[in-house]
Structure 1
Amino acid sequence: MSLVVNHNMMAMNTARNLNSHYNRLSTSTRRLSSGLRIGTAADDAAGLAIRELMRSDISTLHQGVRNANDAISLIQTADGALQTIDEKLIRMKELAEQASTGTYDSVQRAMIDSEYQAMASEITRISMATDFNNIKLLDGTLSDDTHDGSGLNSVGKLKIHFGTGNDSDEDYYYIKIGCTTASALGLGNNAGEASKTNGGFSISTQEMAQLTLDAITRAIVSKDNIRAHLGAMQNRLEATISNLSIQAENVQASESRISDVDVATEMTEFVRNQVLSNSAVSMLSQANQLPQMALQLIG
């Protein structure tokens, strides 16, 4: 290489190397400070795309767990009300048994029937009043087999969504709760004409009281079927929550392997680039002094 003063090629070459080392040092500093191997699309475009999809799935799975927990709370609310209804049905059967015997006259049976009708009215009140987040649970609102979520308010059976997609086999299922008003159970003086024949309408006569014993048994079985369904759904939701938590954990681990920086490896790279940068700075200082040799010849 000729000794010249117009272009200092050694300094230019050293400056280029210094810039390269400094850029890599900057990248290592960013990765170590953020903990992420992929900070920008330039680091790994394909890895970035996979990571963002995984992050969206992780957030969705966590929300799915919260959705399932909310559904469990709803079920427990309904089950608590049904437990109270169960107590009323037991009392009604006790009253029917009392009215079935021949040791009471019509006036006394009328008094017994008065309490019986009051219990029926209370069952209806509980069924109409029980709600969760303004969703009626026991009045028949959730008893329809068809679900329709196209409107502002969904109708029909309750859809519990917890998965990351919209596949019926993987991402959601339904909770159906039958109507538990006294008339729906076939009890009380609002139960309809069939209850007059089959029992449940009243216990004001000995014959109707005896028929009512069977009617209340049918009502208890109907109510217990609803509670059994709710209990099964609660167990299923608890298993779903466990599965979703494991799934979110595994996806998080996969996202970490793609996205997170290996601190040991990156620290080694950081020290290497730091040494090279310091070396390049020293050499650039030396290269900038080389044209002085040409000036000595001129002088």
Structure 2
Amino acid sequence: MKVGTNNQSVNLQTSKVREQQEDAMKKLVTGLRINSAQDDAAGLQIANRLFAQSSGTQVAIRNANDAYSLASVADSALAGVNDAADRIGDLSLRAANASLSAADRDAIQQEINQLQGQVSDIQTNTTFAGQSLFAGSSNSEFQVGANANTTVGLSLPDLTDQLGELQIIDVTTQDGAQAAVETSRSVGEYVNSVRGQVGAFQNRVESSINTLNNSYEQNEVARSRIQDTDFAQTSADKAQADILSNIGVSLQAQANVSRGQALSLLN
């Protein structure tokens, strides 16, 4: 007479439940639904492609932000030059007044000299990442997308000739002052035209940044939906596996007790 339980079936069920517990715990700990190709081979491939796209987009966003920063530096410098040109124009107009004495014009020239120095400093010292922006022409290209041709470029002219005209302004004579009025106005208009180009570039870059941010967010949402753990569902799955495990242990213990009691009676 054979007394016992179907231990093989119980052990198989217990092993299966243990695997479910371990799988759920791994997903909860890592935060990933797919931890290896075994979990979901197709899903892992898609998630990896989306991750690569997101990584590339992040690089493009950094590049675009660099482009915007360069344009901001250039615009700030041009604004300084424009302010100086406007002030020189105002002073020149004042110096053109026939009622002023030579001493008066000399005093005005002293202020203009300081403004000329400021303009020279701006031209010489305006740099971005070690690159001079106005001491010679500059052309900066930025990769702002995954494709090789997705670039934006900003070309800044050599301002040496235009700003050089400001440097030779001399209002110590009425004729010089009258000529300086036109010179400062002309330089100011040119600088403003360059600022317009820089502003248009900034608008384009800002639009690119917004597009890239939207693309990154969409990729991350899609990747997360495929790869990341659904904590509510996985927690419920683990709780169910824990209950089944406890039931299995209890049944195994009861079966062992019953088997022992039966053997005792037979003996």
| TM-score class normalised by the smaller sequence | 0.7 to 0.9
Corresponding pairs, count: 266
Distance of aligned partners of 1:117 and 1:268 in 2 relative to their CA distance in 1, 3 Å threshold: closer
2:5 equivalent to 1:3:
no
2:8 to 7, 12, 23: 12
Structure 2 residue aligned with 1:192: none
Structure 2 residue aligned with 1:68: 64
**Alpha-carbon distance, 1:57 to partner:** 3.1
| TM-score under structure 2 length normalisation | 0.77
Give the number of the structure whose residues are more often helix, by fraction: 2
Q: 3-state SS of the aligned residue for 1:160?
A: strand
Q: 3-state SS of the aligned residue for 1:173?
A: strand
1:82 to 69, 78, 88: 78
2:37 to 34, 41, 66: 41
Q: Contact between 2:95 and 2:171, CA under 8 Å: does it hold in 1?
A: yes
Higher RCO, 1 vs 2 (CA within 8 Å, ≥6 residues apart): 2
AA matched with 2:224: S
1:134 to 117, 121, 130: 130
Structure 2 residue aligned with 1:249: 217
What do you get for the CA RMSD once the two structures are aligned? 3.7
Distance 2:65 2:228 in 1: 31
Distance of aligned partners of 1:102 and 1:264 in 2 relative to their CA distance in 1, 3 Å threshold: closer
AA matched with 1:187: E
Distance of aligned partners of 1:206 and 1:38 in 2 relative to their CA distance in 1, 3 Å threshold: same
**Alpha-carbon distance, 1:260 to partner:** 2.1
**Alpha-carbon distance, 1:114 to partner:** 7.5
Distance of aligned partners of 1:293 and 1:128 in 2 relative to their CA distance in 1, 3 Å threshold: same
Distance of aligned partners of 1:97 and 1:282 in 2 relative to their CA distance in 1, 3 Å threshold: closer
Structure 2 residue aligned with 1:173: 152
Distance 1:114 1:34 in 2: 70
Structure 2 residue aligned with 1:222: 190
**Alpha-carbon distance, 1:137 to partner:** 1.7
Q: Contact between 1:138 and 1:180, CA under 8 Å: does it hold in 2?
A: yes
| TM-score under structure 1 length normalisation | 0.70
Unmatched 5+ residue regions in structure 1?
143-156, 190-199
Matches within 5 A, 1:116-127: 119-127=115-123
Distance of aligned partners of 1:114 and 1:272 in 2 relative to their CA distance in 1, 3 Å threshold: closer
Q: Contact between 2:166 and 2:184, CA under 8 Å: does it hold in 1?
A: no
2:234 equivalent to 1:266:
yes
AA matched with 1:84: G
Matches within 5 A, 1:174-213: 174-181=153-160, 183-185=161-163, 187=165, 213=181
Distance 1:265 1:98 in 2: 79
